[in-house]
Amino acid sequence: MRNLRLAHVIEAGAWLSLALLLFISSFDFSQEIEIYKFGASAWPRAILLLIAVAAVGQLFGQWLRGEGQGSEMLDKASDDGAALAAQLSDHNNPKWLAWTFLLMTIPFVYMNLPGMTGEWLSLDKSGLHQAKLLTAAVLITIFLLAIRGNHIGGMLTLPLLFGAFIQDFGFYFTAPFFILGTMYLMGERHWKNMIMVGALIMGILLALFVSLLYVGLPTGNISPFYEFGTTVVNLLQ
């Protein structure tokens, strides 16, 4: 107990008390709903469980290591040459900043260009979907070429691109590419490891959100991505 201070116990107690209070309050709206077999209170209670687990885990970690080791680790991290590397890199010159800015505009181009084109050409729903497919293909090609010399810009852009694509192409199709792309941009080059870790992450996400919590993740609007998403949902539920 020598590593624990009163402040640690109070902080953990506050989080656990909050989680308990909100858990008790969840009985006020605990009722069955037709589209979700676990009821209306299941998702909030899952969040509260995660809060309680995090609070206990943090308290346990402080009991084992205390704050001293964490401070030493931070000191070592700040002295690992990162500051010197940043100074020697060209990540602060105007060309790199402009390059990164243009990369980050790619998702917003997709969010606006097909709609503007559809209005200009008076496209029907099928034509608009084809315009989105063509625009997405061109922008992905540009993105892949542009990140070859700018992985930091790619890491900043990839979540925005994932958010721009998810409504049309669905979570179930786009998420695996987002996970693999993130690992690649962070420096992983062993494809077997990437595929294994990516499959594990997707399996956990699907089991948690689709099979257990029945959260309605986007299935996409464009064929055949919509059919792919609905097939995955039907298999898991």
Q: Residues 95-122: what's their mean pLDDT?
A: 90
Q: Quick one: 213 exposed, middle or buried, by C-beta within 10 A (0-12, 13-18, 19+)?
A: middle
Count of beta carbons in the 10 Å neighbourhood of residue 164 = 21
| The predicted structure's pLDDT at residue 225 | 94
Distance CA 140, CA 142 (A): 5
Q: Tens of pLDDT along 132-188?
A: 999 999 999 999 999 988 888 899 899 989 989 998 999 899 999 999 999 998 888
Q: Tens of pLDDT along 24-65?
A: 887 776 667 555 566 666 767 777 888 888 888 888 877 777
1 pLDDT more than 60:
no
More reliable by pLDDT, 197 or 81 = 197
| The predicted structure's pLDDT at residue 20 | 87
204 pLDDT more than 70:
yes
Tokens of 89: 């890199």
More reliable by pLDDT, 230 or 216 = 230
Report helix, strand or coil for 81: coil
User: Which residue in the block uniquely carries the two structure tokens 């898991």?
Assistant: 236
Rg for the chain (alpha carbons), in Å? Answer: 23
Proportion of the chain above pLDDT 70, given as a percent:
79
Helices in 147-188 by DSSP H: which ranges? 151-169, 171-185
| The predicted structure's pLDDT at residue 43 | 66
**pTM of the predicted model as reported, rounded to 2 decimal places:** 0.65
The answer to whether the beta carbons of residues 129 and 77 sit under 8 Å apart is: no
